[in-house]
Amino acid sequence: MELGALFHLVLTLFVLVLVGWAVRRIGIFSDEVTAGLSRFLVNIALPALVIDSMQIPFDPALAGEGMAVAVFGAACYLAAIAFALVFPGLIRARPDERQVFSFLVIFANTGFMGYPIVRAIWGEGAIFLAAIYNLLFSFLLFTVGVLILSGRGAGWRGVSPRVLLSPGIVSVGIGLSFFLLSVDLPEVIGGPLRMLGDLTTPLSMVVIGALLARLDARTIFGNPRVYLFSAVRLLVMPLATFAVLRAVLDDPLVLGVLVMMAAMPGATNAALFAEEYGVNPELASQAVFVTTLFCIVTIPLVATLVT
């Protein structure tokens, strides 16, 4: 895709973010409605999209691409975790900021925003690969993510084995089973799944906007370390991913999906997790908002490398 088309794509999605921000600001959405829609996305719409994207006959080539995403995606996450340990010191983060910045270096918005972006650029086939990547995200979010935010107080006690039963992981398991066995769901089931999955792109953007609308605009742009983080999250990490992986990956689709996932803004659930563990949710919200705003420009620029 050309740069202009990529910019138009991201801008279109961001208009939906603004819609979500507006309906929350004028009171059409309440915090309860926003939370309910977020749960609906995570537990129903996104899993439906994942299962529907895997409703294709078994293809050894696609299975190989999925395995490559899993292997190289895991390597990317290991590198991100190592970098997250030193990054707060590099930007001289305050003690009450370190855990949030570490968390956001590792976890980007690869679900709500990653799926729509890769789907728009490469089509339905890329959803399969994005789902494999997000399998890693879901597992690490509820293990490494919890450890980072809980600190020494909870440690591994804060990690529940029920993470393996989260809808994101279960939907990938179901979808992969159908793919490997070439199971074709009857239309009475496949049709509703497809319709629910189609809700993911517009509804996820609206929910992001509604979540960001809770922030006080006067405090969003006041922390210079948030801008340093944004540059790392939106440019340094995807460019580093591209520079390293293009030397070892021959498949342009696998490379593209991995780079674009690394280019996503901060994970929207960072503020929710930070609030749950009492670790500076205001900073998490600021970082998510600023990176989501700046990604209008950075995502098209990064995408030109891989399209």
Closest to 63 measured CA to CA, from 136, 111, 125 = 125
**What pLDDT, on a 0 to 100 scale, did the predictor assign at position 160?**
60
Domains in the chain (CATH in brackets) are 3-302 (1.20.1530.20)
**What pLDDT, on a 0 to 100 scale, did the predictor assign at position 164?**
64
Per the CB < 8 A criterion, the answer to whether 76 and 241 are in contact is: yes
For 33, residues 6+ apart whose C-beta sits below 8 A from its C-beta are 210
Residuewise pLDDT in 10s, the chain (307 residues):
667 777 887 888 888 989 999 999 999 999 899 888 888 988 898 889 889 888 888 889 989 999 999 999 999 999 999 999 999 999 999 999 999 999 999 999 998 889 889 988 998 889 999 999 998 998 888 788 888 887 754 555 555 666 567 787 888 889 889 998 989 999 999 999 999 988 988 888 888 788 778 777 666 777 899 999 999 999 999 999 999 999 999 999 999 999 999 999 998 778 777 877 788 888 888 898 899 889 989 999 999 999 8
For 50, residues 6+ apart whose C-beta sits below 8 A from its C-beta are 127, 131, 134, 168, 171, 172, 175, 197
Closest to 286 measured CA to CA, from 101, 157, 38 = 101
pTM: 0.86
**What pLDDT, on a 0 to 100 scale, did the predictor assign at position 2?**
65
Per the CB < 8 A criterion, the answer to whether 287 and 230 are in contact is: yes
**What pLDDT, on a 0 to 100 scale, did the predictor assign at position 303?**
93
**What pLDDT, on a 0 to 100 scale, did the predictor assign at position 156?**
52
